[in-house]
Amino acid sequence: METLFALLIGLLIGTGVFLLLSRSIVRVVLGLSFITYGGNLAILTVAGLREDAPPLLTLRGPYADPLPQALILTAIVIGFATTALVLTVALRAYQVAGHDDVEAFGDSLARDPDAQLDMAADPEHQGPDRPDPAEAQVFVLAAVPRVRLPEDGP
């Protein structure tokens, strides 16, 4: 049983790593989920697999260890939240980048060369850029060298 689980965990994490290495956002997110679930199964397995053993002390023993299940529950909740967050970031990137070429997200959020200048998928949600230099106060740092004009007349 443990061997079977070990193989399954290896398969899950291997698939996850394979997907993580691809350039598409959805595949990356799926890959992370696979790795997370492989990890969760690993916790369950190393703590000992038991059939028909209740984790509650009020039932008839022998008992299963309830702690790994609590750990996995926590890990699942956190994994769920982070997956949602990654997907939100991916959606936002699509809105800002202005094209639906998911693969372009992999190493650069480059503009689609064929797109028009300053075109965004969602013009309502542009990001703030650096403070506008036009509003900043300019003061002259060094004295401007005075040009001496030739004097006329004798």
Partner 1 sequence: MNSLAWLTLAPILTPLGFGLGLLWPWRRPVRVGLALTGALLTLAFALGLLFATADGTVLVGELGGWPAPFGIVMTADQLTAWVSVLGAVSALLAVWQAAADPDPVREKHHLLALMQFLFAGVQLSFLTGDLFNLFVAFEVMLVASYALAVLGSTREQLREGFRYIVMNLAASALLVVACGLSYGVLGTLNLAHLAQRSAELGPNTTVTAVGVLLLIVFAAKGALFPLGFWLPGTYPALPPAVGTFFAAVLTKVGVYALLRVFTTVFVQEAGVTNTLLLGLGTVTMLYGALGAASQREWRRILSFLVVSSVGYLAFGLGVGTVEAVRASVGYFAVSVLVTTALFSIATVAERASGSPLVRVRGMLDALPLLAGCFLLCALTVAGLPPSGGFVAKYALVRAGLAEGSPLALLAVASALLSSLITLYAMLNVWRGFFWGQHPSWLPVYRVPRPLRASAYAASALVAGLTLFAGPLFARADATAAELRDNARYIRGVLGDRPVMIPEPPTGGEVK
Choice between 51 and 54, CB closer to partner 1: 54
Mention every residue, 6+ apart, whose C-beta is less than 8 A from residue 120: 95, 96, 97, 98, 126
146 binds partner 1 (CB under 8 A): no
Query: Does residue 93 bind partner 1 (CB under 8 A)?
Result: yes
Are 71 and 46 in contact by the 8 Å Cβ rule? The answer is no
Name, in order, each residue with C-beta under 8 angstroms of 36's C-beta and a sequence gap of 6 or more.
Answer: 16, 75, 76, 79
The nearer residue to partner 1, 141 or 149, going by C-beta atoms, is: 141
Task: Figure out which of the listed residues 26, 78, 115, 119 binds partner 1, where binding follows CB under 8 A.
Answer: 78
Q: How far is CA 102 from the centre of its chain?
A: 14
Phi, psi of 90 (to 5 degrees): -65, -45
User: Considering beta carbons, is residue 57 or 149 the nearer one to partner 1?
Assistant: 57
The single residue among 67, 73, 115, 119 that binds partner 1, judged by CB under 8 A, is: 67
Q: Are 37 and 52 in contact (CB under 8 A)?
A: no
Query: What span, in angstroms and rounded, lies between the C-alpha atoms of 93 and 121?
Result: 10
Site for partner 1 in 101-140 (CB under 8 A): 105, 108-109, 125, 127-129, 131, 133, 136-140
Give the footprint of partner 1 on this chain (CB under 8 A): 20, 25, 28, 32, 35-36, 38-40, 42-43, 45-48, 57-58, 60, 67-68, 71, 74-75, 78, 81-82, 85-86, 89-90, 92-93, 95-97, 105, 108-109, 125, 127-129, 131, 133, 136-142, 144
